[in-house]
Amino acid sequence: MKKALVAALLIIISIPMLIAVAAMPPHGDADSPVHTHVSARYIEHGEEEAGAENLVTGVLLNYRGLDTAGEVIVIFTALMAAFAVLITHPGRGEESGPTTAALDPEPGTEPESDSKAPPPISPVVSFMVRLLTPFTTLFAIYVILNGHVTPGGGFQGGAILGGMFIALTIVLGEDKVRTLLPRRAAPWMQGAAVFAFVAIGVIGAATTGYFLGYPTDASLHLVRELMMVVIEIGIGLGGAAIFATIFLQMEAE
Amino acid sequence: MSLTFDILLLLLLIVTALAVAWTKDLLAAAIIFSSYSLMMCLLWQHRGAPDVAMTEAAVGAGITTVLFLVAIGRTTRREK
Amino acid sequence: MILTTDIRDAATIVIAIFGGVFFLVGTIGILRLPDFYSRTHAATKCDTIGAGSLLLALAVFNGLEASTWKILALVALVLLNGPTIGHALARAAHRTGLDPWHAEEG
């Protein structure tokens, strides 16, 4: 009965969706609204107007810069929400010993988790991760810095960097990785994307009068590129720090 | 040829999505979801969106899977 | 000139078919072999030699260009990663106490 109801509901929902799909213009149609509105201008003038060879980056950071800034702030806020759930004791570290004990709801659960200690990491895997780490880091930096020329950018490079961090944490343990991402520096790293956007936005507001405004003069081409690269670095570092800390927080006892 | 490849990828996407929904073993579901992300990544790349494909490969197939595995390790493996 | 491109094409075809055969054999192995360890062994062969030689075929097909070196770097990455993953899988299975398959059981 319940299943039949679900199936009926799904069919009822799917009918308007299929009608909407049938009403869509054919794929690749040059006269469809998507291609006649703003994207024609982006494709024609994007390179000299936005200052990025990679059109996607141009749209993300220049034409739709405010949207990307908002997106970055949303991600940062989501991280804060996740931390509110994940953190069971203050992240301040050693000096908050008594508070930790007070906040720990069931002290009896500790021995059980100790008995399930993970097996030692294979030396082969450990060696491979440590061997590939410099190359991965180089690739991530390349993706971040080259985002305005080739596919890639802050989000992609940051995800690669964060993945490398997670692999290193699994292999080396939390303590050693914490030297790369100290507790005091972590919040600043997580907010790097927001800081970069606000800083560049304020600089743009001071020079051009618009928040996130880029200099449009052709002679200031390098300045514009530098502003984009700063934002990309901020997004990359912020993304990597967010991924790494979520993982560290989930792994932490 | 190109369209055939797309249709094949879309069919695989549907199959993996259904498999994720139907699998009771959450560990297997996380791994199948990772392969779903891989299909999605290939599809993005093939439709000419390499930026999104890179994000999908790094975040979808990589980091989310690890986070899912950690979460499963902290909770239970079977869906109730 | 025609001769060199012919040789290159022939080498590409040979290496690609070699990789394809490895993929085919490896996939049959994953489907047909009896236990986790032997299936891991088949999958690792697929990933390492199959993907490695297909990438090598692409590099040969490309000739001496900038992207060829990127493909060769990918080959090196595949050759390093494949065996490591196979090792990690088999080690994890062994550590959790999975017994290998014996002929008398089946």
B58 and A250: CB-CB below 8 Å? no
B54 and A151: CB-CB below 8 Å? yes
Cα distance between residue A235 and residue C19, in whole Å: 40
Cα distance between residue A72 and residue C97, in whole Å: 45
CB atoms within 10 A of CB C88: 16
B32, B13 in Cβ contact below 8 A? no
Q: Per the structure block, which two tokens stand in for A25?
A: 């213009």
As a whole number, the mean pLDDT across chain C is 87
Selected residue of B44, B54, B69, B76 to mutate for chain A interface (largest A Cβ count, 10 A): B54
Alpha-helix runs per DSSP H in A24-64: 33-36, 39-50, 55-58
Q: Please tell me if residue C102 touches chain A, with a CB cutoff of 8 Å.
A: no
Q: Please tell me if residue C70 touches chain A, with a CB cutoff of 8 Å.
A: no
Q: Find the angle CA(A100)-CA(B72)-CA(C37) to the nearest 5 degrees.
A: 130
Shortest CB distance from A162 goes to which of B63, B70, B71? B63
Shortest CB distance from B66 goes to which of A153, A160, A166? A166
Domain boundaries, given as residue ranges, for chain B? 2-74
Which amino acid belongs to residue C85?
A: I
CA distance readout (Å), B5 to A38, A140, A206, B11, B42: 30, 30, 51, 10, 10
> Distance, in angstroms, between A156 CA and closest chain B CA?
5
| pLDDT of res. A105 | 43
Q: Which single residue is written with the structure tokens 């507790």?
A: A183
| pLDDT of res. C23 | 92
Q: Per the structure block, which two tokens stand in for C11?
A: 């080498």
Residue of chain A with shortest Cα separation from C90 = A122
Q: Using one digit for the tens of pLDDT, what is the confidence trace for B14-42?
A: 999 999 988 889 999 999 999 999 999 99
| pLDDT of res. A88 | 67
**Whose CA is closest to B6, among B46, B41, B34, B50?**
B46
Q: Per the structure block, which two tokens stand in for B47?
A: 């439709």
Domain boundaries, given as residue ranges, for chain C? 2-95
C80: chain A residues, CB-CB within 8 Å: 128, 131-132
| pLDDT of res. A112 | 41
Q: Per the structure block, which two tokens stand in for A57?
A: 């980056």
CA distance readout (Å), A99 to A88, A92, A197, A199, A250: 11, 11, 36, 37, 20
C84 and A119: CB-CB below 8 Å? no
Percent of chain B exceeding pLDDT 90 equals: 36
Contacts of A222 (CB under 8 A, 6+ apart): none
CA distance readout (Å), A194 to A13, A44, A191: 39, 30, 5
B62: chain A residues, CB-CB within 8 Å: 159, 163
Cα distance between residue A60 and residue A228, in whole Å: 10
Q: Find the angle CA(C4)-CA(C10)-CA(C14) to the nearest 5 degrees.
A: 145
Query: Which pLDDT tens digits describe chain A residue by residue (253 residues)?
Result: 888 999 999 999 999 999 998 888 777 677 777 777 777 777 777 777 777 777 788 888 878 888 888 888 888 888 888 888 877 665 444 444 444 444 444 444 444 444 455 667 888 888 999 899 999 999 999 999 888 788 878 888 999 999 898 888 888 888 888 888 888 888 888 888 888 888 888 888 888 877 877 777 777 778 888 888 888 899 898 888 888 888 888 877 5
Torsion angle defined by CA atoms of residues A58, A64, A69 and A75, in that order, rounded to the nearest 10 degrees = -90
Q: Per the structure block, which two tokens stand in for C60?
A: 């040969």
Q: Find the angle CA(A29)-CA(A31)-CA(A32) to the nearest 5 degrees.
A: 70
- pLDDT value at C66 more than 90: no
Q: In this complex, which chains have at least 3 CB pairs below 8 Å with chain B? A: A
C30, C75 in Cβ contact below 8 A? no
Cα distance between residue A76 and residue A192, in whole Å: 10
| pLDDT of res. A118 | 61
Q: Using one digit for the tens of pLDDT, what is the confidence trace for C4-32?
A: 788 888 999 999 999 999 999 999 999 99
Q: Output A48-53 pairs: Cβ under 8 A, ≥24 positions apart.
A: A48/A218, A49/A216, A51/A148, A51/A214, A51/A221, A51/A224, A51/A225, A51/A228, A52/A148, A52/A149, A52/A225, A52/A228, A53/A148, A53/A149
A240, A162 in Cβ contact below 8 A? yes
Selected residue of B51, B75, B76 to mutate for chain A interface (largest A Cβ count, 10 A): B51
Cα distance between residue C90 and residue A122, in whole Å: 11
| C-alpha distance across the termini of chain A, in Å | 45
CB atoms within 10 A of CB B42: 19
| pLDDT of res. A134 | 92
Cα distance between residue A202 and residue A212, in whole Å: 7
C95: chain A residues, CB-CB within 8 Å: 119
Q: Please tell me if residue A68 touches chain B, with a CB cutoff of 8 Å.
A: no
C77 and A122: CB-CB below 8 Å? no
B58 and A153: CB-CB below 8 Å? no
Q: Which single residue is written with the structure tokens 């025609």?
A: C2
A160 and B58: CB-CB below 8 Å? yes
ipTM of the complex: 0.83
A51, A221 in Cβ contact below 8 A? yes
Beta bridge partners of B25: B78
Contacts of A231 (CB under 8 A, 6+ apart): A61, A154, A193, A196, A197, A200
Contacts of A240 (CB under 8 A, 6+ apart): A140, A158, A159, A161, A162, A165, A189
